[in-house]
Structure 1
Amino acid sequence: MSLDHIPRVAYNKDHEAFRQTVRLFMAREIAPHQAKWAEQGVVPHDVWVKAGAFGLLCPTVPEAYGGLGLDFRYNAIVSEESVYTGGVATGFALQSDIVANYLVQYGSEAQKQRWLPKMVSGELVTAIAMTEPGTGSDLQGMRTTALKDGDHYVINGSKTYITNGQTADLILLCCRTDVEIEPRWKGMSILLVEADREGFQRGRNLDKIGQDEADTSELFFHDVRVPLSNCLGQEGQGFVYLMSELPQERLSIAIQAQASAQKAFDDTVEFTRTRNAFGKPILDFQNTRFTLADLKAKLQIGWAHLDWALNRHCAGELTPEEGAAAKLWHSETQWEIMDKCLQLHGGAGYMNEYPIARAWRASRVTRIFGGTSEIMKELIGRKL
């Protein structure tokens, strides 16, 4: 089974040809190794280089910086196919959908020339460090500071729940470069911090309940010195940049949620068709058919909405509240579909040897990262 059975309106023939390349890579380089990577808690660095060689990383980066200069729909295809295969979408999507755009939009020419080509090739793995212990979604409450000392910033603080934290070579660090100014968001900046800087330390690879192959870490900064030229864009504009880029980040999460929900549904239809109870396939029971019919309708609506959102985003028209709504609806619907699909697997659904168990665990975080569902409702509600 593949996503080919889903009618789409957001993609053209070039997009679908790219999809076949992505699918080939996932089948050849990802699927055979997923169980091992989940056990190890990390995707090896050489996989990033292979993904770069296939053109899967940062497709929207302009050709002048080693990219393909394509539209965001190509990023979406990588996420859809990766999630449908069952893994690694989180790390790839963070680099392609989030970090790359910050550099393209706000980076200096020197910063773009230095880092973007290696991000495209997979030689450089990146992370973005926002969340701190005790702050969660409250970015204005961050305490990590970067204070000027001559021609350098001196960074002190810590971050947590950082995707790609164990493997990142470059971290986009959100911090306070002005600790006196009010409101606090006006003193926030984004600094580019290389992982080999003295005073930088990775914490443990955090033990999560899902997405086992994605390394997620604590990061510590003790008197880490970076040159003033490592400031991304203008000093003090970090919060504005974050708010500007969040619609794409949240659309990226919505894409992953939709594709994983579709995979769970397809697997469950096949399972109920072949598993018997009381002398007949589980699919023949009315409760099973009605449950799956309801989920199928929601998936149909979800794909239509996703294509609408993709088209609006590529036209530069997706608003922050629309991005928040996409993230809210698709992540909440994903969880409903996952939970009902696991229920239809019965006891087998609780066993990690079945894909639905791993998918169910992995899906729980989509209602949290990128802003919790409660925060999404608040953002949407403010525009009513």
Structure 2
Amino acid sequence: MSFYSVPLPELHPSPGTLIAIQELTEEFPNPERIMVLALNEHAELWKLNLHTGVTERILQTNIPEMNLLHPVQIVTSPDGSVAAVSNIYGQRAAVYNLLTGKEILQLSRDDYHYDVSTYPLSFAYIDQRLILVHGTEWNRLDLTDVLRGTSLTGRPTPAYNNDSNQNTDEPDTSEHYLNYFHGKLSVSPDQKWIVDSGWVWAPLGITRTWSLENWLNHAWESENGSSIHNLWQTMDWDLPSAWISPDTIAIWGQVDEEMVDEEDWQEEGVSPAIILFNVQTGERMGVITSVPAFSTTSLVEGVFPHAQAGMAADQDKLFTWRYGLDLHVWNCSTLTCDATTTEVHPQLYHHQAKLFIGLSTDAPHQLLACEYDSNSA
């Protein structure tokens, strides 16, 4: 089991200094097209073909109050036709059609502590419709039909104890009030479940999951629906995660020793771990111990502490990386570590190309790639 550096061609024309990249999935993959979507220092979105080096400028983003010196996220639709862009800890976002180069939607969440958790953004295909899951208030998510621009989850925003509805004829919706700050979202591969790594006052991270199908039929599902499970209560939120299967997600965080059997821990107290959860039942399916801790100290002044780490899965392998330290490969069947490397500190794992891809610190307009061969000696 070995890692190999993969030479990439020089990008032409040059997209300039890159500040964020994301895998660009294609509905019909072509081995001669390793596609990445990138945002540069001028807030331009570019398509990069890492097989040929050919690049294409798609559009100029225009997001109010966007700070390109702060962390940025690019979220793409399953077929690679649409992308959403925001500061990770920003108040505003925009959605773009990558085929036409046109803006589709401008989005905003309210200003209540928006700068301490990831702007909730994720795409799903449901009933042959492209749907965006997005934050509209600190404790509210909505579903929007992307191509039609229509909301699918219209409902009033409940007030705590229904204070705003006193002495009015409006219905009492206080039972739906959710005291929870939504955060980083992830939709399951079969587009049926969503996982939300948000937080509550203390502060304390709580990872929640619920059914997207139920949500389309019941507008209050994300607040107090019947399919909701609280998977994990942790010290942090916006946690690295990866889907092992359509109904199993792996999450990397810190746990108290009471969560697992005593013999699994070398020391008492809070320890880092990866835990596998079944989102349909909320059941814990496995625990990986002896996991390295990740730093939560932001590399950028003025940005709220958050996990300096990433995670991806491919078949029975789970990959974890963290700023400045080794990339680990975990076996999901044995729950043990198979390999480590310092060859590359990736920003992402490209599932179609099976490459780890990172930004070059020496040449910020260039990318680096590394391949993992599980069959080598």
> Which band: TM-score by shorter chain?
under 0.3
Task: Answer 1 or 2: which has greater strand percent.
Answer: 2
With structure 1 as the length reference, what TM-score do the two structures score? 0.26
With structure 2 as the length reference, what TM-score do the two structures score? 0.27
Asked which structure has the greater RCO (Cα within 8 Å, sep 6+), the reply is: 1
